[in-house]
Amino acid sequence: QLQLVESGGGLVQPGQSLRLSCAAASGFTLDYYAVGWFRQAPGKEREGLSCFTHSGVSTNYADSVKGRFTISRDHAKGTVYLQMNNLRLEDTAVYYCAAVHVHYCPANVSLFSSWGQGTQVTVSS
């Protein structure tokens, strides 16, 4: 079972930026996996944000982050990033990356089978 590790979370003020990273744990690889970013705020359901396939196709799941969040992938580093700009108070959540061993980004996000432990992002003035 693929193991994922997220990093890059933290406490920022509104309008600032963060970049989250998602990598496979030692002994694993993200090759040939579609990798997505998700978040869950307290008392709310998990929300899909975006996804990036192995071949470089990205899919956005959430209108709320369009134009502010960008997903990217560095195969050489085996890492998928989520660049988050112009952060808002409502972006506060635990952010997760997840992967599924397919060549496309599933419309049904429940298909993502491997999940990281999450990284906390807090936006506060």
- Measured CA to CA in angstroms, residue 52 lies from 5, 14, 64, 70, 81 at distances of 16, 26, 18, 10, 10
Tokens 């309008």 belong to residue? 15
The pLDDT tens digits of the residues spanning 19-78 come to 999 999 888 889 899 999 999 999 999 999 999 999 988 888 899 999 999 999 999 999
Amino acid at 123: V
- Measured CA to CA in angstroms, residue 109 lies from 48, 97, 124 at distances of 7, 12, 29
Amino acid at 85: N
pLDDT-derived band at 107 (thresholds 50, 70, 90) equals: confident
pLDDT-derived band at 81 (thresholds 50, 70, 90) equals: very high
Q: Is residue 95 within 8 Å of residue 38, measured between CB atoms?
A: yes
